[in-house]
Structures are given as C-alpha cells and as structure tokens.
A and B are shown apart, each in its own frame.
Chain A
C-alpha cells in the first residue's frame, strides 16, 4: 500500500512540471504577453492538428508563434493577427472559427439540433400524457 502511494505521489510530482514550449517570455510588457499567450492558445498547429501552437514544439508552430510575436510588436490588433493567419491557412487554424459563410453551418448546427431534439421531446411527452397510467408498473415492477 505504501509502495503504491509512493508511486502515485512520485507521478504527481512529475505531472505538475509539464514542460512549457516557450520558456522565455515573448514580451516584457505583461499586457502584450497576455495578448500573445491568448492568441497562440487559439491557433491550431497545422501539422499537429489537435494541439494549439502554444502547446506544440513542431517547428511550424514555432514559426507561427514568431510571426504572431512580430505582428503584435508591430502594433497589429488581434483581428489583424487573425486575418494574417486565416489568409494563409484558412478558418481551420482558429479553434474558435469566425462567423462567415463557410463556417455558418458550424455555428448554426447546434441550435438546429437542439430545436429538433426539443421538438421530439415535446412530441414524445405529449403522446405519453395521453396514455392511461398503468398502476401495475409502479406497484409491482413487472412491466411486461
């Protein structure tokens, strides 16, 4: 038991120190650094698609971080940085795609599904309310 506990604790010791990709700070100004970190967390790494470029050590992710750092230091707005990326890699690079003709389905689909699910639930419930209550089910539990 103690042995197992030691193993668990030892594992936890390592877990907290997941190595950061960017060890150095990109900006001295904390406001700019915060913007930078927020932006890189929202950009998908194009070769390693389930990571953001903040988490990836692929060199293309490093290149994109460097470009974002450059754009921010040139005084570009968040929208301009986003525009830069989308022009080159498409909406796919953004984890939160912008609303546009191409991405409209992404934004609307959940509401459509919820609408139809709600519709179905209402119909089923209404239908069941018209059924006679069967006492035997609640009493005995032998529904069949």
Chain B
C-alpha cells in the first residue's frame, strides 16, 4: 500500500472539519426552540402592571418577539430600525423587556418611541431563561401557529433583515 495514502485520507477528512470549526462562531448559540412552540410566558406589560401579555397574544399572525433592555447597547442600535418596521407595518413586534427597571424602560420608550404592540416586563429574567436568551438583543420570528421559526442574536438592521428575516416571512406568506 502506498505509504502516503493514509495521511492523505486523514488530511482530506480533517481539513473540512477544521474549516467548519473556523467558520462557526462559538459565541452564537443555536436556539433550542427552532421548529418548536414558543416557550410559554405570561407577563405584566411594561406600561400597565395590571395588564398581561402572554404566548396567547402571539398566535394568529406572524410576529417578532424582541428581547431588549435599557442597559443593552445593541438594543439602542436597533431601536430606530424597529421603529421603521413598525412605521411601515411590516410585522407586529412583541417585546420582552428583560431584567430592566420599569421607570428606565418606560422612559426609554417615551423618548425613543415605542415600536412594540406590547412589552412584557420580565424583571427577574425568568422568561428570558425560558426562551434560552443569552444576551440582548435577541429577536425571534414566530409563525401564526405560535412556533419559533428563527432566532437572531444581536441588533437588527436592514442588512440582517433582508438577509435573514424577509425571505423567511415571504416564504410564510406564499
């Protein structure tokens, strides 16, 4: 047998594995909920502690669930884009205000505008954990049946939108 054959096979097998390893970003964790029902939540709304927003609100039409907080720089970065999505009536956006202070969060929306249909107020972060959130902002695409189709960790902008969200939403509306 040719003495170079074995090393050659090893290289051919290992190189693609290494390339995959180099290209995957270990800080981007895949969501465990893709293709599964959105995790249950039932939270008081940010504006009015008497009112509730829950998983039930999500069913009926395709929507976004945006995890945000006032301490999160990426959330500030994407806020204008969320405002634009809301202005253009692209998709209803629900929010989970994650580990925040109610006055800070209300103030933020008063100053920067409120792009959300409703914000759930997740003060102690338990809903965030139920959704497998590991950092804000994160945005989930939920279909009309309440299933999670996609999750994007990081701030949204038009580039991310056109690449990741728009095609998936177009697919649903076919």
Chain A residues engaging chain B, CB cutoff 8 angstroms: 46-47, 49, 59-60, 63-64, 66-67, 86-90, 92, 120
Other-chain contact of B29, A59, A66, A67, A92 (Cβ < 8 Å): A92
For window 6-49 of B, CB contacts with A under 8 Å fall at 6, 26-27, 29-30, 32, 39
Contacts of B39 in A (CB 8 A): 88
Whether A67 pairs with B126 at a CB distance below 8 angstroms is yes
Give Cα distance in the complex from A120 to B135, angstroms.
Answer: 46
Contact residue among A63, A66, A90 (Cβ-Cβ distance under 8 Å from B30): A90
Chain B interface, DSSP helix/strand/loop, else mixed: loop
How distant is the Cα of A54 from the Cα of B71 in the complex, in angstroms?
24
Q: Which residues of B contact A90 (CB under 8 A)?
A: 29-30, 32, 132
Interchain Cβ contacts under 8 Å between A and B, 14 examples: A46-B134, A46-B135, A47-B135, A60-B128, A60-B133, A60-B134, A63-B126, A67-B126, A67-B129, A87-B32, A88-B129, A89-B32, A89-B134, A90-B32
Interchain nearest-CB distance for A46 vs B (Å): 4
Option from B6, B30, B131, B134 in Cβ contact (under 8 Å) with A47: B134
| B29 & A64 in contact (Cβ 8 Å cutoff) | no
